[in-house]
Each structure stands twice: as C-alpha cells, then as structure tokens.
C-alpha cells in the first residue's frame, strides 16, 4: 500500500470527530469545575486545568485519556502534596470508579462516562523553581500549544499510534517507552511523522536534539550532562532530558520497527494482529530445542500499586541477574511478568544450569611473582 494512502486510512481511524471533541471538552470542563469546587471546600487555593494531549489536541480518538492538574500553593509541605491532592481528587470523584496511582507522588485515576481521567497535584511554580516533577506539565502544555503547528498535530497522532502498535509508547515504569510530550517534540523537530521514521531508521550511535539551543555553544557540557543514547533537551528546562525514561531496549525496538516500516509500510505496524498464548506443549517443545536452560522464579501476593510494583520487579530482576552472574552463570536473556495482583514471574535464560566441577582461576605468573619478590624493599 502506498504511504500516503496508508497514513490517510490510519488518520481517519485515530482523529477525533467533532462529536467526540464536543463530548471530551464537556467532560473536561465539568471535571475542572468539580475539582475547583472540591479544593475550595477544603480551603485550598488550587488552579485547575486540563493538561496533556487533550489540551494540546494531539490525543487519539481511540484513547482520549483526560489529565486534570491541580496547581497547589508552594506553602503546602512537599511530603503533604500527594495527601492533599488525593483528598481533593477523591472529593471531586464522588462515586466514580477509582484507583490510586503513584509516580513521584500519589495521584488519582478515575473512570467516568467511559473515559479514564488522571487527577494530578503539582505546585504552582515558576520555570526553574520546580519542587516536583509534575510542576513542568502546565508549561509543557503551553509550549506545545504555542509552537506545534496545527498540521503537525495529525503527524503526532500517527507517531503515537505507530509507537502504540509496536509496544514502545508510554513513559510509565512498566513500559519504559516514549511519552506523549516526547512524541510532540520529535515531530516538531523533524516536521512530520515520516521525518521521525527516517531519522530513527538511520540511527547509529546517538541522537541529540536541543530545540531551543540551550547548549548550542556548549556541546561538551551537553555530553557530560546527558550520557543517554537518546537526548531531547526539555525546551522549558535545560537540565532535563525528556527521553531519560526511554529504556535502551525500547529505543532499539523503535529503531528496528522504523527500518522495517521504511522497507515495507503496512497497517500492521499501527494495528498489529492479536497475540495468542501458545499451548504449553508447543512452548515446552520450543524451549527444549534451544539447548539452553530456563530458570523461573514465582512470587505470589505482592501488594503495591502498579507503578511502584513494576519498579520493584525491575530492580529485583537486575539484582537476581547480578547474583547469577556473580556465581558464574551466563545469563542470555531475562524478563519479568506480572498480573499486578496475585502473581509475578521472573524468567532467566541461562547458557547452562549446572556448573562444571572444575573452575580455572587465573593468578599472577611465576615470573611476575618472582619479579615482585626481587623488587620488594625487604629483599
């Protein structure tokens, strides 16, 4: 299928209709009013505004999540920000289905009128005076609304949907991929979805983007400050790499997908075929033919909100891998899976599960030891 025909077909599916926009905007306004009223009732002077992709008009028709931010006074102690924010959010949510989430501090996720809504507290600060990570978000919204040209919004939608399709979209710990803000900055820099695809298809060692030219005359400083393989300097905070949450595995998956897409564009990159679990006997047959060993560690009943749970799981996986390697096991691959409630499983593929009885220890040669002895001050 021709590239232009393909992207137009995708855009028809992911661009919100006038009716959808009307519904989302009405709910957004209602939520702003409810949260403002709840904050006033608790005596908190909060500035409430919808942020994120809804405010920037870069959201997908299939996934119109609403982010409502409460900008709270800096007089509220840092350790109380999450507690105060959750109290206001719960009052505003009423009887809606809810789930406490956690990033740098707690926030509330609710489900209402068929939409998922995140109600997030942050501080009402000036640029450069950040007290929490979410303080930047309102400034991100303003920056994109000012600098992202209207035709580029559809290009952002294409990039987001492409990343969703290949499994690299989302900056949460579980995914470790590309955030929506990062997608917007990439399209701004490369001008289009096609430009982003081509740039990453040509990726070799590193990509560095500094849209505002914060380090235009200080390239060495930039290299020292940001060692990551993908660096996008935040236009509103020169000390922050917007791509810092992107795990190398997700970056390389994206690079591989862009190269495959360049060779043969297809709808399957945006809408992949559903994956079905293989029967146990097929899995066993496949694994037994690899001439490697597999170690499975099952953990039950972990009690933590998903955002914290996945951080714990990934840290544990790294520690277990290090323990295996310290004890001379060669780890070829590792992974972790969880249903986020009652079961988590760590998987390690080992070169072999039984170590030999004999191990070669390298020590200094006899000549080196004799030479050391002859040069000793006591000889």
Q: Are 182 and 140 in contact (CB under 8 A)?
A: no
Residue-wise pLDDT for 124-172, tens only, equals 999 989 999 899 999 999 999 999 999 999 999 999 999 999 999 999 8
Q: How far apart are CA 263 and CA 195, in angstroms?
A: 15
Q: Which residues of 212-237 are buried (b: 16+ CB within 10 A; e: fewer)?
A: eebbeeeeeebeeebebbbbbbbbbb
Give the model's confidence band at 277: pLDDT under 50 very low, under 70 low, under 90 confident, else very high: confident
- Torsion angles phi and psi, residue 83, rounded to 5: -65, -45
Q: Which CATH number fits domain 148-275: 1.10.599.10, 2.60.120.380, 1.10.1410.30, 1.10.12.10?
A: 1.10.1410.30
Q: How far apart are CA 18 and CA 315, in angstroms?
A: 45
Residue-wise pLDDT for 77-121, tens only, equals 998 998 999 999 999 999 899 888 887 778 999 999 999 999 999
Residue-wise pLDDT for 161-170, tens only, equals 999 999 999 9
Domain with CATH 3.30.70.590 in the chain: 276-379
Residue 289 pLDDT: 72
pTM of the full predicted structure?
Answer: 0.88
Residue 373 pLDDT: 67
Q: What is the CATH number of domain 13-138?
A: 3.30.460.10
| CATH fold of 276-379 | Alpha-Beta Plaits (3.30.70)
Domain with CATH 1.10.1410.30 in the chain: 148-275
Residue located via tokens 């991100």: 140
Q: How far apart are CA 49 and CA 14, in angstroms?
A: 24
Domain with CATH 3.30.460.10 in the chain: 13-138
What's 63's DSSP letter?
A: B
Q: Tokens in use for 261? A: 């897409």
With a cut of 70, say whether residue 209 has pLDDT above it: yes
Residue-wise pLDDT for 61-87, tens only, equals 978 889 999 999 999 999 899 899 999
What's 267's DSSP letter?
A: G
Start-end of H helices in the chain: 3-14, 18-41, 52-56, 81-93, 137-147, 150-166, 180-190, 193-201, 219-225, 248-263, 280-288, 306-326, 366-374
């Amino acid at each position: 299928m021709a590239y232009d025909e393909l992207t137009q077909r995708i855009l028809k599916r992911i661009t919100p209709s006038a009716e959808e926009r009307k519904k989302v905007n009405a709910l957004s306004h209602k939520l702003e009013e409810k949260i403002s009223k709840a904050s006033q009732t608790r005596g908190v002077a909060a500035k409430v505004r919808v942020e994120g992709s809804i405010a920037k008009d870069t959201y997908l028709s299939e996934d119109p999540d609403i982010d409502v931010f409460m900008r709270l006074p800096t007089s509220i102690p840092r350790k109380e920000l999450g507690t105060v924010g959750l109290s206001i959010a719960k009052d505003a949510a009423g009887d809606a289905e809810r789930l406490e989430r956690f990033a740098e501090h707690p926030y509330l996720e609710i489900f209402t009128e068929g939409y998922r809504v995140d109600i997030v507290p942050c501080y009402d600060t000036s640029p450069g005076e950040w007290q929490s990570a979410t303080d930047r978000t309102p400034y991100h919204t303003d920056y994109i609304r000012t600098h992202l040209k209207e035709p580029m919004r559809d290009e952002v939608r294409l990039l987001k949907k492409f990343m969703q399709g290949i499994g690299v979209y989302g900056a949460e710990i579980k995914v470790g991929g590309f955030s929506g803000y990062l997608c917007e900055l990439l399209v701004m820099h490369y001008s289009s979805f096609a430009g982003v695809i081509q740039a990453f298809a040509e990726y070799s060692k590193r990509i560095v983007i500094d849209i505002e030219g914060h380090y235009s005359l200080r390239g060495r400083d930039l290299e020292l400050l940001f060692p990551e393989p993908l660096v996008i300097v935040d236009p509103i905070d020169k000390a922050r790499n917007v791509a810092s949450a992107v795990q190398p595995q997700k970056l390389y998956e994206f690079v591989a997908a862009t190269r495959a897409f360049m060779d043969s564009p297809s709808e399957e990159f945006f809408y992949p075929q559903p994956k079905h679990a293989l029967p146990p006997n097929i899995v066993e047959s496949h694994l037994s033919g690899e001439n490697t060993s597999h170690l499975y560690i099952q953990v039950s009943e972990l009690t933590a909100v998903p955002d914290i749970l996945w951080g714990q799981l990934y840290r544990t996986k790294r520690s277990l891998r290090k323990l295996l390697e310290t004890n001379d096991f060669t780890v070829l691959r590792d992974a972790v899976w969880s249903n986020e409630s009652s079961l988590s499983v760590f998987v390690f593929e080992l070169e072999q599960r039984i170590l030999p009885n004999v191990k070669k220890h390298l020590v200094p040669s006899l000549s080196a030891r004799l030479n050391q002895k002859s040069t000793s001050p006591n000889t």
